[in-house]
Structure 1
C-alpha cells in the first residue's frame, strides 16, 4: 500500500510562520498587543485634541511628562520584575494598560489625561522589562534570536491591522466613534493579558513560586557593569534609525525636495512590508556576539548609505528624486533590520539570567540616554545645517562613532559576564539542548508545558 506524503510548503512561506508551538503563542500575544495599541494610536491626535480638548502644546507637554516618567520608572520596574517573576508582572501590567484604555473615554482635561498617562508609563516600563525577561528566560538558548525575529514581524502585522481599524474609526468622521475606540484596545489587551497568563511559567517564575527568590542575587548587578551600560547607550544611538525613518526623512521630503507628499504613504508602507517579511531571514546569521558585531557594522553601512542617498535629493528633480528618497527609506529599513538581530544577541548573551528584569531596566534607561537627543539634533542637522544638506554627513559620522564605541563596550560586558556569571550561561546552554524543561508538579500552571522561544517590545 502506498502512503501519500504531503509535499512541504515552499521554504519562503514556511519561514513566515513561527516554527515552534511556543513561538506561535508568543506571536499571537504580540499581535494582540500591537493591534490594540495601533487601533488607538492611529487616531490619538484627534482623540486628544478634539475629544479631550487639549491644545497641541498641551498634548506635547503631556507626552513629554509621561515619557520622562516611563524613563524614571524603567530601573525600579525591572527590579520588581525580578522580585515577583516576569510572567506575573507581564500579565498584570497588560491588564493595567487595558484599564488605562478603559479610562480614556472619560478623560476630559489635561490633568485627568496626565493621570492616565502616568499609568501608561508605569505599565509600559514594567511591561517591557517583564516581556523581555520572560522571553529570554522561557526559551531555549538556540531559539531566542529566531523567535525575536518572528515576534518583531508579528508586532508589525498587528500595528498594521490596528492602523486599519483606527482608519475605519476615523472614516466615520464622528467624535463619538473616536471617543469609544479605546475600548476596543482595552478589549484586545484584556484578551492579551489572559493569553499571557496561559503561557507556561518561565524558570524564574518557578524560582519565585518556590520561595527561592526572596533575596537579591549575590554578586554585582547591572549598575556595576560598565560594559552593559555603555553597550546599551551606543545601541540606543544606532536605533536612532527610527528617527530618520519616522521624522527626518519625511520632513526632508516635504521641505527640501520636489517629491510629491503622497510618496510618504509608500515609504511607510514599504517599511512595514519589509519588517513583516524579512526579520526571519535577516536574523538567521546571528549565532554569537561576533555575528552580532558583524550585523552592527552592516546596519551602520545601511544607515550611512541612507544619509548619503537622501542628502543628494536636495539637488535632484522629478522621478529621480522620488526613486532616491524611496531608496533612502529602504536602506534605513535595512539598518533597522540588522541592528535588531544584533540587539537580540546582546540581550541573550550579556545579561545576568538571575537579574534579567533589572538588566532590562538599566538598558532602557541607558538606551534612552543614547537616543533621546536625536529628534532635535538630527532635524537641525538635516534641515538647517549646511546649504546643501551637509548635516547628513554629521548624522552619518555620529552613527559610525557609536558603532566604534560599541566594539570595546561589548568586549567589556562580555568579560564581565564570563567573570561574574559564566556558570549560569553554561546552565542555560545545557537547558537549550532539551526539547522542553520539566515543570515541577508542585507549581500549578494552566497551560501545558511546551518548548519555548523569544521577541521584541511589548506591554
Structure 2
C-alpha cells in the first residue's frame, strides 16, 4: 500500500479506508466525535423539553444565545490556538465538551441550561479552530483535501452510529434513560480526547514547545486580509445548501406538496449514504485553487437544479412529486459534496501557516455572517413569497455569491503572495507512524511556557 493518496487505485469499498496511518487516525477521531455528539443531538429535543422542562420557546432562546456566544468566541479562540498550539487546545476543548455533557443530566431549568450552553459554545469554538488548524498543519500539502474527504466520510459514519444509539434511547420511552444519555456522549468525548492526545505533534505544536511562539508572526493578520474575509463569507453563503437540505425542503414537502411524510426518512438516508461513500471520489479533482473555483460552480449548478426541481413539485401529484422531491434532495447533496472539496482547498491554500488558528477564527465569524440569516429568509422565500417563486430568488443568491468568489479568491491570493512566509519543509512530509507515539505528543499537563 502506498502513502500517496492520489496514486492509489483501490476498489470502491476499499476506498472508504484512508490510505496512510495518519489519515486513518484522523478519520477515526472524526467518527468518535460524531458518534458522541449525535447520540445526544438525536434526543436533544426530548431531553430539553421533557427532562429539563423548558418550553419550546425557551429552547429556541437558549440555542440562539449559544449560537451568539459561539460567534463571539470564534476569533479569540483562534488566537488562543496559535498561542498554545492546535493539538493541545483540541484535546483540552474535547475534555471540556465531555464536562459539559456530564453536567447536562443535572440541569433543571432555563438559566442553568444557558450557563451550560455558553460553556459548550466556548469549547466548540476552541475545538473548531484547533481541529482545522491541526489538520492543515500536520498534513502534507498534497494530502490535505483528500484526507479531509475521508474524515468527512467517517464523520458521517459517526453521525449515523450516534443517531442509531440515540434512537435506541428514545425507543425505551424512558425519561430516566434519556436523562443519562449525555453520559454516553461524555464517554465518547473522553475517548476522543485521549485519541487526539496520541496524535503526532504538528509543526506549530513543536514550535510552541520550543518557545518559538514568543516570536510574533510576521506580516499582517487575517483581519486585514479582505480577500480571505470575503472568500469565507461567500463560502458561508454556498454552504446554505445545508439549509435547503435540513430545513427548507423538508418543510416544503410537508406544507406545499402531496408527498408522503415518510419520504423524509428516505431523503435523509440518501444524503447520509452518499456523504459516506462519495467524498473521497468527489474531492479527487481538487488539486489547486483553479480546481476549487470550478467545483464552486459545479456546486452552484447542483444548487440551482435543486431549487428549480423542488419548486415544480408545488404543482405535481403522486409519484411524480415523490421522484422530483427526491431528485431535489439528491442534487442539493451534490452541491454539498462539490463545495466540500472546494472549501478544504481554500482553507489549505489561502490561510497563513503561522496563523492557522487565527485564520480559522476569522473564517468562523465571516462564514457565519454568510450563513446564519439563511434559515429564516429561505423559509420565507420558499413557503410565503410569490407562490413558490421565491425558489428562484434563493438560486439567484447563490449565483451572486459564486460570482463574488472569483475576485475575492484572487484578492486573497495576492495577499498570500505578498505577506505569507513559505511553509516549513516539514509540513510537506508525511509524519512517520512511529512518531505518533509518546515521544511526539504534547503533554497536556505541561506548563505551556
The two structures have a TM-score, normalised by structure 1, of: 0.92
Return the offset for 1:435.
4.0
Residue 126 of structure 1: aligned partner: 126
Return the offset for 1:119.
1.0
Question: In structure 2, what is the Cα distance between the partners aligned to 1:120 and 1:156?
Answer: 22
Asked if the contact 2:227–2:408 (Cα under 8 Å) also holds between the matched residues in 1, the reply is yes
Matches within 5 A, 1:152-191: 152-191=152-191
Residue 445 of structure 2: aligned partner: none
Residue 391 of structure 1: aligned partner: 390
Return the offset for 1:311.
0.4
Describe the SS at the equivalent of 1:186. Answer: helix
Runs of 4+ with >6 A deviation = 437-440
Asked if the contact 1:431–1:437 (Cα under 8 Å) also holds between the matched residues in 2, the reply is no
Unaligned runs of 5+ in 2: 1-7, 443-449
Return the offset for 1:16.
1.0
Return the offset for 1:439.
10
Residue 446 of structure 2: aligned partner: none
Asked if the contact 2:138–2:427 (Cα under 8 Å) also holds between the matched residues in 1, the reply is no
User: CA separation of 1:9/1:424 partners in 2, compared to 1, >3 Å: closer, same or farther?
Assistant: closer
Residue 292 of structure 2: aligned partner: 292
Matches within 5 A, 1:199-210: 199-210=199-210
Question: In structure 2, what is the Cα distance between the partners aligned to 1:366 and 1:439?
Answer: 39
Question: In structure 2, what is the Cα distance between the partners aligned to 1:226 and 1:446?
Answer: 36
User: CA separation of 1:438/1:273 partners in 2, compared to 1, >3 Å: closer, same or farther?
Assistant: closer
Residue 279 of structure 1: aligned partner: 279
Describe the SS at the equivalent of 2:217. Answer: coil
Matches within 5 A, 1:12-31: 12-31=12-31
Residue 349 of structure 1: aligned partner: 349
Return the offset for 1:9.
9.4
Question: In structure 2, what is the Cα distance between the partners aligned to 1:314 and 1:45?
Answer: 30
- Over the aligned positions, Cα root-mean-square deviation in angstroms equals 1.7
Residue 4 of structure 1: aligned partner: none
Question: In structure 2, what is the Cα distance between the partners aligned to 1:438 and 1:328?
Answer: 43
- Cα offsets for 1:72-93 (capped at 9, x unmatched): 0000000000000000000000
- Cα offsets for 1:129-159 (capped at 9, x unmatched): 0000000000111110010000000110000
Residue 399 of structure 2: aligned partner: 400
Question: In structure 1, what is the Cα distance between the partners aligned to 2:220 and 2:148?
Answer: 28
Unaligned runs of 5+ in 1: 1-7, 448-459
- Is 1:54 aligned to residue 49 of structure 2? no
Matches within 5 A, 1:8-407: 11-387=11-387, 389-407=388-406
Return the offset for 1:10.
5.5
Return the offset for 1:437.
7.0
Question: In structure 2, what is the Cα distance between the partners aligned to 1:81 and 1:446?
Answer: 16
User: CA separation of 1:339/1:287 partners in 2, compared to 1, >3 Å: closer, same or farther?
Assistant: same
Question: In structure 2, what is the Cα distance between the partners aligned to 1:317 and 1:172?
Answer: 37
The two structures have a TM-score, normalised by structure 2, of: 0.94
- Is 1:411 aligned to residue 416 of structure 2? no
Question: In structure 2, what is the Cα distance between the partners aligned to 1:121 and 1:435?
Answer: 33
Residue 453 of structure 1: aligned partner: none
